[in-house]
Structure 1
């Protein structure tokens, strides 16, 4: 680096190159996650992304940008639902529900009174 201006130019160039790569990878990821696009359509987009990458990425963002947002929103919604289901599954039920379940098992004769007391103590712990 000979001067401050060379360093500044390098920093700006690296910034724009990284931004370009992020856009390019997002376009490719969206292209392959789109279930509505045919294989030939995807092949044509990839062909142009390889040979005319900046212009093709810009055209893709203009032509299909709204669909990208919708697909991303749907993906995030599905992930949120999976996460919520996992949390509900791992968290289990409330202590009152566990005690009520143990009481119904005691009433049906499936467990003894001492087993009921153990389950009750475990639920309250």
Structure 2
């Protein structure tokens, strides 16, 4: 261990973590290039070529030239993903089967369902009364 002083260990760790951060940034940029619908095919090819042939210069130029737009696109994707998830949750909870593990439905929806079953002959009047008595207030 005497051959490698402690300061050299710290210095090596510093450069290693900078290298890891640069790789992360390069992957993020390549991902952004492919996801940008406003960029033409030739534009995408040009940015990728620049980032592959001159990696440090390409990443630096991309961040300076398109950094603010990259942030805006990330935020828009996050909002769209959240909206799609919320829509999925709304659709799923409305059509969930009834049972002990099912989400609680709105009282009016459940009452309307019971009335349809009674009117269709699937429930007798006594069964309808018992079911409505069990509905949460």
TM class by smaller structure? 0.7 to 0.9
| Counterpart for residue 96 of structure 1 | 107
Q: Are the aligned partners of 1:102 and 1:119 in contact in 2 as well (CA < 8 Å)?
A: no
d(CA) in 1 for partners of 2:66, 2:121: 60
Question: TM-score, structure 1 length as denominator?
Answer: 0.83
Which digits, 9 at most, give the CA deviation of each residue in 1:60-114, with x for residues without a partner? 1111111101110110011101111222233336240342222330453353236
Contact 1:30–1:68 (8 Å) recurs in 2: yes
Q: Within 2, Cα distance between the matches of 1:122 and 1:7?
A: 70
Structure 1 residue aligned with 2:98 = none
CA RMSD in angstroms comes to 2.4
Equivalent residue pairs, number = 124
With normalisation by structure 2, the TM-score equals 0.77
Structure 1 ranges of 4+ moved more than 6 A: none
Q: 1 or 2, which has the higher helix percentage?
A: 1
Mapping 1:1-125, distance limit 5 Å: 2-92=4-94, 94-106=105-117, 108-109=119-120, 111-113=122-124, 116=128, 120=132, 124=136
Higher relative contact order (CA 8 A, sep 6+): 1
- Classify the secondary structure of the residue corresponding to 1:62: helix
Structure 1, gaps ≥5 residues long: none
